[in-house]
Amino acid sequence: MKINHKPSRGSQQERLLIGLLHGDLIDPIKSINEYNVLIPSARVAELRRMGWPIRSIEVPHPSAKFIGSNLTGYVLDQHFRRWYGDPDNLGKHPALYPGQDGRGKFEGWKQEDFERGALSR
């Protein structure tokens, strides 16, 4: 059985995926305020099951009331976004990314191999 890697048009998964593909770091607060998605962890889990290599990272809580507390944020690594954005690869299933197989595609890479946010390298 072939799993479709494209979320339904207008769905919460599609809204999150578009943000991630544009290099956005999405935490639960941003998810609600900018993407109208109440439970981003569930939507990210669904996107992962579709094959998207979404990374979970800890980000500091933005409120001064919760100093020292973290939120879980979600990103797509720059390397993947560059590969997927190439016209030759656009629309291909994410599993065709030439990294390692499985959720640990980026295991063993160094911190400097990753970039959070806009494509600036």
Q: Which CATH number is 12-101 given?
A: 1.10.10
**Would the pLDDT of 107 be above 60?**
no
Give me the mean pLDDT over the 44-55 stretch.
Answer: 89
The pLDDT of residue 91: 80
pLDDT digits (tens, 9 = 90+) for 60-73: 887 777 777 888 89
47 Cβ neighbours under 8 A, 6+ residues apart: 7, 13, 16, 17, 54
- pTM as predicted: 0.74
- Residue 34 binned pLDDT confidence (cut-offs 50, 70, 90): very high
Residue 67 sits at φ, ψ, to 5 deg, of -60, 130
Tokens of 96: 């065709």
CB burial readout 98-114, b (16+ within 10 A) else e? ebeeeeebeeeeeeeee
Query: What are the boundaries of each domain within the chain?
Result: 12-101
